[in-house]
Structures are given as C-alpha cells and as structure tokens.
Chains A and B, each alone.
Chain A
Amino acid sequence: MAQTTFGVGGLTYDHSKRQLPQELNVLIALVLIVAAFELLGRALLGDSFLLNTRDNVDTFFNQARLQIIILQVSIVGIIAIGITQVIISGGIDLSAGSVVGATAMIAMSFAQVATVNGNPNPKAVFLEQGWVDLPVLVPVLVGLACGLLAGLINGSLIAYTKIPPFIATLGMMVTARGVAKWWTKGEPISFPTEPFAGIGKGLMPVVIFLALAILFHLMLKFTLYGKRCYAIGSNEEAARMSGINVERHKVLVYAIAGLLAAVAALVLSSKNLTAQAGMGVMYELDAIAMAVIGGVSLSGGRGSIVGTVLGALIFGVIISGFTFLKLDAYYQEMVKGAIIVGAVVLDVWRQRRRGTRG
C-alpha cells in the first residue's frame, strides 16, 4: 500500500528558512552606504550627499550627482552584464577590458570624418583608402564583429581545449591589448563622424546600460539560455548528463560577453570622441567587482543582473562619495582594490555559511 503520511523529520517546512532574494541584501548595503556618505558629508563638510543644496536649482535631489554616479558606471556596467552571465555559468572573463581597447581602436578607425577644419583628417587611419565619412552602421558592425570574434575564441578555447577560463581569457587579455597597440602603432584615433559621436552622447550610455540590463535580466530569468547558464554553473556534470550541450553553450556565453564588451567600446570611444590603445585597462576587474558586490558567486550558479546593476550603483556611489568628501584620487584606487577583495571575501564567507547549514 502506498502511504502518504509525510511531513516527518527534515521534511517539514521551516518558514524562517524561507529564501529571501540575495538582491535585497545588496539593496540594503547600497542604502547604508549612501546613508553613510550623507552623514559623513553633513558632519565633515556641512553639505548633503544626496539632496540638492544649491539655491539656483529647484530639485529635491542633487540630480547632477545622481547622473554622474550612474553615468560613470554605465559603460563598465555594460561589461559587467556580460561578465555576470559568464560567472553564473561557472567561468570568468579577464579579457573584457582589452577587448574594449582593441574594439574601440578598430571601430573608431572606420568612423572617421574626411576633413577637419577644411584640412584632410590627420588622424584618419584609412584616409588613403578613402574609407572616411562611412555610415555609422559600418563602425558599429565592425566593432561588434571584433568583440564577437574575441568572445568566440575565448569560448572555443575554454569549451574544446578544456583549459581553465582564467588562462584562456588571460591570454586574450594580453593579445587583444597587443592588437589595440599594433593597430595604429600606438597612435590615438580621433575625429569621429557626427552620428558615431551620437552613440555615447549625454545620457545615452545610461540608456544603453539599462536597456541591456533589462534584456539580459529577462534572458537569464525566462529563457532556456538563462536556465542553462545557472545549470552549468551549478553542476556542469549534471547539466551534461541531462543532455545540455555544455560546450556549445559555453561558446555562446563567451561570445555574448565579447559582444557586450564591444558595445561598451563603441559607447566609450563615442563618448570620448577618441580611441586609444590604453582604453579599458582594468575594466574587467571593475566589472567583476560590480558582479561580486551584487551577489554573483565566483563559484558559479548564483547571482542575477539585478544584483549586478545594484553592485554597479554601489561602486559608483563609493567613487562619487569619495570625490564628494574631497578624498585624494590615490585613496580612491586603494579603496577600490579593497572593495574588490572584500566582495570576494564576502562571497567565500557566504558560501561557507551555506555549506555548514547542510
């Protein structure tokens, strides 16, 4: 006879153990950090961090500061979206910053105007070939292709040669930076066309960042793609046993991360109206930090885009807060390093606590 009397031993449901979303903790941290700067500001400077204190502007919040906070993290934030889905599926991508550099250089060289102040554009790479004043679609597609290629190489190396993602993307990090320098022998490229300059104008980086964040949030939560990312990051063997083509999925994940790095490169070079070989240095670490601060676990399987966006905001608030408190830029870098390490420590600590819970 089948018995249906259960609810014994470990099978009862303890409501106090109900899972609260990880993002809630990150949001609380964000609020606490903002509150800390607000208090410090009022105590040390007699000024408000968050609220408007100028008489000539009629807004409740200090809108200029809020805009700067989100504007300065939105480009790295685009990279962080790509890195988030890489880390969730159990990998890591150290090449994003260098891919930004290489992509910016190559794309920008196809976005040059023919003449500057009536003279032939001195910075145009393809002036002789006549590849100037091209429609904006050309540099955009060239840029996306560069990012896609870098991502495909990363993904194929990791999936099919089975080398650790750390090594594969470290190689790409060095190689892509080399490409960025080789492209013009170190010369910066300036004077983009008007439409290309429009890509990163004003608040466009924020709009693009948030639009991509929403798209990837939906992708990770509601599509097969997202489910496979979490499954592979959580238990690669189980995913393989379940019939998921783990290798193909990994290639896809890194390809998409490369595409997002390319988008960041287009926005960045457009915003700066120039591309340099040194662009995007250390962006990958900032992006990883944003993801980890936002609750994405470096061991894979856990995290979300919402968390990463909140992590990016925390990152932005801290940098902006230091500027607000008139702290030296050198201190900012030192503290940034501490934040990255601190976030990883927090992640390890979180996992250990989960582990002992059984």
Chain B
Amino acid sequence: MSDIILRTEGLTKHYGGVHALVDADFELRQGEHVAIMGDNGAGKSTFVRQITGVERRTSGKVWFDGREVDFPGPLHAREAGIEAVFQNLALADDLDVPSNLFLGREKILFNLGPFSILDRKAMRQATEAALKRTAVKIPNLGNTIRHMSGGQRQCVAIARAATFASKLIIMDEPTAALGVQETAQVENIVRTLKDNGESLILISHNMRQVFDLVDRIIVFRRGRIVANLRKEETDGQDVVAYITGAKSQNLAAAAL
C-alpha cells in the first residue's frame, strides 16, 4: 500500500442543503495519471477543493503520502506537496516568468528579513532548468506574463506546479480556454510529467485528451463517484453513458 499517494474515504461536502459531494472513495497510486470527468455540477471541482484545502470537508477522511491530513488552507496543501493549477491560474500578470515561478518562495542572496536581497540569477537558472524539465518553451523569460498568450500562461502555471509539487499535481481544466496548438503544448507537458513519474489528477471535459493522457478515468455524477475505469477497458461511449447516468458501477468492487 506504500505506493498509494492519495486516498479518500467517504469524502463528503454539503453546501447548506446541497449535497455537492457524497461518500467519495478514491485512490491514486504514485506516478499514476487519473482523469476526473462528469457533467457540470457533478462534484469534480468540489472534490478537488476538499483535497487542496481550499474548502473544509463536511465529513470523510483523506490520507496523503501515508498520513491522514486535514489541510486548513491551500498553503498547507502546498507545503505538504500538492500543487494545483486552477482555471484562474493565480499568476501575477506584471511579473516575469522567474518571479511567478518563485512567487512566495523566492531564493535569497542575503537575508535582511522583508528587505532580503533576491538571488535573481539563481532563480533565472532554476527557471530555465524547470522549464527544460517540463519541456515548456517560453521564448523570453524576462517578459511579463501580461504579454504572453493564454497557452504560454498556462504553461508557466503548470511549470510552477511541476517544479514545486514534490508529490501530486492537480489540474482543473487546464486547456479549457486554449486553442488547438496551445492545447497540444499543454498535453505535451502532461506527457513529460508522466515520463518523470509525477502523479496527476486531471479534470477535463475533453474525451480525446483524457484517453490520450491518463491511465484511469473516474466519473462523477450528482456528487457521487459512479465509475472507476481503466483506460484499456473502456471507450468514449462507455464513459458518456456513465456521465449521463445511463450506466452505473458497483463501486465497492471497483475501488481497488
């Protein structure tokens, strides 16, 4: 069981009377790439928000990296080794690539408290190395994020997640707003992450992308996990049937 990086048991979230997430049992192995699919409002993002500490769960248990955890905020999840790429990116538009990559974790040349002198050269070099490792190509690192295309911004956000996530990366619809070629670029990065052995949870509506990139597909419907499918044992029509509710699975048997 030591290669299980993330496990949830009976994870539940109620917003007032709305049961957004009910009894979610989930497992992710080290280095595994899993897609979460489902209609709008099926509970995908709610599930991710409970894991990343953005919200506090109503009930249930979460184990991460062998320990039971209950993150009070997203920062704690980050410190534990979970990096999330959200749709709103959380980049500072007026800063350049290295500054964004190291935002909040700047390398320091000389420590003077809040007036510490930054080690800009080291951050730049580390950025170049990180972009190389994730196969992200940004032509000019000194440019501010504001001057970049949507794809480049997304790449920077993903490179940041990949650089600092020691254990798990979560991407919430990383290509939803991107064009064809930019989507291809992001997908290439995800493949690189797979080769590097990083664990990944990918929320996506794109069936082709999901079958291209992941090992396993989890389908949410009305707040419940209704399917846990190995990629080889399913196809697009099958997944759609689960998403729309035409089919359902006995989860107790499929959990492992």
Contacts and interface: CB of A to CB of B under 8 A. Distances in A.
A234 interface: yes
Contact of B118 (A227, A233, A242): A227
A159 to B, nearest CB: 14
B92 A6 contact: no
Contact of A19 (B89, B112, B147): B147
Contacts of A6: 135, 137, 185, 188
Contact of B91 (A17, A238, A243, A357): A238
B181 interface: yes
A20 to B, nearest CB: 12
B214 to A, nearest CB: 16
Interface in B198-228: none
A9 B116 contact: no
Contact of B179 (A10, A244, A249): A10
A358 interface: yes
Nearest to A297: B94
Contacts of B255: none
Interface-centre pick from B90, B104, B120 (highest chain A CB count, 10 A): B104
A331 interface: no
Contact of B191 (A3, A224, A228, A242): A3
Interface residues of A, number: 41
A182 B103 CA distance: 46
Interface string A219-251: 100111101101101110111011110000100
A231 B90 CA distance: 11
B99 interface: yes
Contact of A10 (B114, B118, B146, B182): B182
Contacts of A219: 115
Contacts of B95: 227, 230-231, 234
A153 B116 CA distance: 25
Given A224-B114, A224-B116, A234-B94, A17 B147 contact: yes
Interface in B95-149: 95, 99, 103-106, 108, 112, 114-118, 120, 135, 137, 139-140, 142-144, 146-147, 149
B75 interface: yes
Q: Is the interface of B mostly helix, strand, loop or mixed?
A: mixed
B151 interface: yes
Interface in A175-227: 219, 222-225, 227
A142 interface: no
B103 A238 contact: yes
Given A9-B179, A243-B104, A19 B99 contact: no
B118 to A, nearest CB: 6
A224 B103 contact: no
A224 B115 contact: yes
Interface string B79-98: 00000000001111111000
A54 interface: no
B140 A18 contact: yes
Contact of B92 (A1, A3, A7, A235): A235
Contact of A237 (B90, B146, B179): B90
Contacts of B191: 1-3
Contacts of B112: 223
A123 interface: no
Nearest to B110: A223
Nearest to A358: B149
A8 interface: yes
B104 A11 contact: no
A237 B95 CA distance: 14
B115 A223 contact: yes
Given A8-B185, A9-B181, A223-B116, A233 B140 contact: no
A11 B137 contact: yes
B176 interface: no
A9 B182 contact: yes
B195 A13 contact: no
A170 to B, nearest CB: 26
Nearest to A226: B118
Interface string A11-23: 1110001110000
B74 interface: yes
Contact of B115 (A225, A231, A233, A239): A225
Interface of B: 74-75, 78, 89-95, 99, 103-106, 108, 112, 114-118, 120, 135, 137, 139-140, 142-144, 146-147, 149-152, 179-182, 184-185, 188, 191-192, 195
Interface of A: 1-4, 6-13, 17-19, 219, 222-225, 227-228, 230-231, 233-235, 237-239, 241-244, 249, 252, 301-302, 354, 357-358
13 contacts: A9-B149, A9-B180, A9-B181, A10-B149, A12-B139, A19-B143, A222-B118, A223-B112, A231-B95, A231-B99, A235-B92, A239-B92, A244-B103
The 7 closest A-B pairs by CB, nearest first: A13-B139, A242-B104, A9-B181, A10-B149, A301-B94, A243-B104, A234-B94
